[in-house]
Chain A
Amino acid sequence: MNSPPADKGQHIAEQGIAGRFAMRLLLVIGAGGGILFLGFYLIFIRPFPGTFSGTYFALRDLSAFLVPVLVFSMLAYFLVVSLGIALLSGYAFHKIAGPLYRMERALENYDSGHAVKAVFLREGDGLVSLAQAYNRYVAGLREDRQKWLAAMEHAERLCLQEAATCRAEMEEALARLSELLSRYR
């Protein structure tokens, strides 16, 4: 595992992903607001005609014209900011989605009957605690399996030394094995 082992450190790593994402979110939303203001500024900064009637009609026209302008600009704002945040969240959350994907592959590998491999995450990935918990679980099961086999192989070695007590040794090994297996429920 290429990440700090302590749970506290893993929480800090996940908070770091969220913190960086929040900072980028601030930038995207700030830029969206800035562009929106600039767009409206360019529309509203155009001077009125010099005459009284010209200004009067320009004001009335602008009032009627405002709704479609607003609808169009808000649609553009929504699309631009949402696209920005979508790209940002896609990038930031692939550090969570990646480990989830790897865990799914690891479980498929676990169920397939092929040699079970440990889950290794990429630098900067989140959910390190999950990968570590899975690796510890697999290592624990493997250790237990070794104990079960060791009990049987010990009996086999004793069998080679003393053929007369072979069956008794094997039955004793089976009793030990039964005791070891009984913790699983």
Chain B
Amino acid sequence: MSPHTSRHLARRRIFLVKPRFQGTVALCFAAIVFAGAALFAGFFSQYARTALRVASLQGHYDFLSPHEIIGSALALHVLALSAGVLAGSLLVLLFLVRRIRSGVERLVETFRVSMEGDLSSPTNATGLSDIAELGRKVDASRSRTLSRIREIRADVEFLRSEPLTDEEFAKRWDALKAAIRRVVP
């Protein structure tokens, strides 16, 4: 591979960072488009078939093309379809933004209470599945940190309470320092 090609590949943007998350979002919008298209097909088909049948039963045909019979209704139906799909998509967008924001706010709050020492209250992140999953990972990390801190606390209490020889005390003291250094290295 030439240096130019490798540089080009290295700079290439990753479009699908989290396919499940981005795919779910795309599917939500696709469902709205599908519903709009189905409703359009149903209503316009019903209207156009009736209008064409009525037109065919007239005594005089004073129109040159089907567009003169159903053109204005077609424009209205397409307009209604576009407006409906847009409104539905905006509602989905609003819903997604609210869900993402509420989930992220829970995570931010969890980090805030963690700074105050609370490493055990669960995050309970609501929202999209990826945010809820991130919440579970945050909880797992906090739990592991709390376990390390509890181990350190137990070591401290052991050193304080047990009558140890100076040599043993020094050994455990050094081990305690090493354990502390392993917290957020």
Q: How many residues of B contact A (CB 8 A)?
A: 87
Tell whether A165 is near chain B: CB-to-CB under 8 Å.
Answer: no
CB <8 Å contact, B56 and A63: yes
CB <8 Å contact, A85 and B29: yes
Tell whether A164 is near chain B: CB-to-CB under 8 Å.
Answer: no
Residues of A within 8 A of B141 (CB): 107, 110-111
In angstroms, how far is the closest chain A Cβ from the Cβ of B176?
7
CB <8 Å contact, A136 and B115: yes
In angstroms, how far is the closest chain A Cβ from the Cβ of B142?
9
Residue among A29, A78, A91, A149 making CB contact with B34, cutoff 8 Å: A78
Main secondary structure of the interface of B (DSSP, over half): helix
In angstroms, how far is the closest chain B Cβ from the Cβ of A93?
5
Tell whether A8 is near chain B: CB-to-CB under 8 Å.
Answer: no
Nearest A-chain residue to B27, judged by Cβ = A86
**In the complex, A126 Cα to B67 Cα: how many Å?**
48
CB <8 Å contact, A101 and B17: yes
Residues of B within 8 A of A45 (CB): 65, 67
Contact with B along A165-181 (1 / 0, CB 8 A): 00100110011011001
CB <8 Å contact, A137 and B64: no
Contact with B along A36-68 (1 / 0, CB 8 A): 110011011111100010011001101100110
Nearest A-chain residue to B32, judged by Cβ = A85
The chain A residues found within 8 Å of chain B, CB to CB, are 11, 14-15, 18, 21-22, 25-26, 29-30, 32-33, 36-37, 40-41, 43-48, 52, 55-56, 59-60, 62-63, 66-67, 70-71, 74-75, 77-78, 81-82, 85-86, 89-91, 93-94, 96-98, 100-101, 103-104, 107, 110-111, 113-116, 126-127, 129-130, 133-134, 136-138, 140-142, 145, 148-149, 152, 167, 170-171, 174-175, 177-178, 181-185
Query: What 4 new A-B contacts, CB under 8 Å, besides A29-B85, A100-B134?
Result: A22-B90, A33-B78, A97-B21, A149-B177
The chain B residues found within 8 Å of chain A, CB to CB, are 14-18, 21-22, 25-26, 29-30, 33-34, 37-38, 40-41, 44-45, 48-49, 52-53, 55-56, 61, 63-67, 70-71, 74-75, 78-79, 81-82, 85-86, 89-90, 93, 97, 100-101, 104, 107-108, 111-112, 114-120, 130-131, 134, 137-138, 140-141, 144-146, 149, 152-153, 156-157, 159-160, 166, 169, 173, 176-177, 180-185
8 contacts between A and B (CB under 8 A): A41-B74, A63-B48, A89-B26, A93-B22, A100-B21, A100-B130, A107-B134, A113-B182
